[in-house]
């Protein structure tokens, strides 16, 4: 989660639903989701923070997985043909 705790919320009504975009003030990470129009703002803020945390966690896991794959691809400095 952001160290400042600030997020910017943007709302766009789409029929009976509302598209919510949440942008973290510190790093600019953006997430979006749909919610019913009558959802309280406190709940939308909570969902936004949870989704930002989820996306950050997934990005960290993907980064770690990618680094592990790259480490496994390093050549072993032996001469010859690898079959």
- Bridge partners (DSSP) listed for residue 9: 22
How does pLDDT run across 29-46, given as a tens digit for each residue?
Answer: 999 999 999 999 999 999
Residue 82 has pLDDT above 70, yes or no: no
Mean pLDDT over the full length of the chain: 89
Nearest CA among 32, 12, 33 for reference residue 23: 32
């Amino acid at each position: 989660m952001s160290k400042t705790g600030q997020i910017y919320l943007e709302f766009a009504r789409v029929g009976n639903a509302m598209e919510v975009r949440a942008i973290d003030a510190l790093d600019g990470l953006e997430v979006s989701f749909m919610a019913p129009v009558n959802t309280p703002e406190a709940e939308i803020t909570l969902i936004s923070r949870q989704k930002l945390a989820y996306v950050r966690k997934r990005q960290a896991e993907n980064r770690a997985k990618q680094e592990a794959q790259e480490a496994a691809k390093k050549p072993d400095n032996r001469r010859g043909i690898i079959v």
